[in-house]
Amino acid sequence: MRPTPALVLAVALGGAVGTTGRYAVTQLIGSAPLLPWATLVVNVTGAFLLGLLLERLARVGAETPRRRLARLGLGTGALGGFTTYSALALEVHDLVAASEVWLAAGYGIGTVCAGLLACLTGVALGARRDGARA
């Protein structure tokens, strides 16, 4: 199915909201020596929210035009703009360049593993909420 102008706009607007949210979290948390906590927080939080969103959308039935709009606007746009695995890659590179190889490895692997766990937690919560209403 080809993207419509409305879907493209939803992704663009969602991306603007997501990147603004990421900027806000970065300003709130600030920078710490060595470990980039803001990137870790947005990536793990975004993974959780994406797992929750996609599980909830999958559980309400087949994809409709409205659900597709929500999936693309919220998932691809907002959460895609909120998370930043490109910044993770740059930060791992910077840590290696600063001779913090073990910290770089722990941060990179830890972020990916924490993101996976957060996503699975979101999926489990989305599935549990469905069972609680039945």
Confidence of residue 129 (pLDDT cuts 50, 70, 90): low
Q: In a 3-state reduction of DSSP, which class is residue 47?
A: helix
CA distances in angstroms from 67 to 23, 119, 121, listed in the order given? 27, 20, 22
Q: At what angle do helices 85-97 and 101-133 cross, to 10 degrees?
A: 160
In whole numbers, what is the pLDDT of the chain averaged over residues?
92
pLDDT tens digits, residue range 39-87? Answer: 999 999 999 999 999 999 999 989 999 999 999 999 999 999 999 999 9
At residue 13, the pLDDT reads 97
Confidence of residue 34 (pLDDT cuts 50, 70, 90): confident
> What does the alpha-carbon distance between residue 132 and residue 35 come to, in Å, rounded to a whole number?
39
How many folded domains does the chain comprise?
1
Q: Smallest Cα–Cα separation from 107: which of 91, 122, 128, 119? A: 91
pLDDT tens digits, residue range 100-113? Answer: 999 999 999 999 99
Q: Evaluate if residue 133 carries a pLDDT over 70.
A: no
Confidence of residue 134 (pLDDT cuts 50, 70, 90): very low
At residue 2, the pLDDT reads 81
- The proportion of the chain whose per-residue pLDDT surpasses 70, expressed as a percent, equals 95
* Phi, psi at 2, each rounded to 5°: -75, 145
- How much is the pTM? 0.89
- Hey, what are 81's tokens? 């703009």
Confidence of residue 97 (pLDDT cuts 50, 70, 90): very high
> What does the alpha-carbon distance between residue 30 and residue 8 come to, in Å, rounded to a whole number?
32
Please give the residue range of the domain that contains residue 58. 5-133
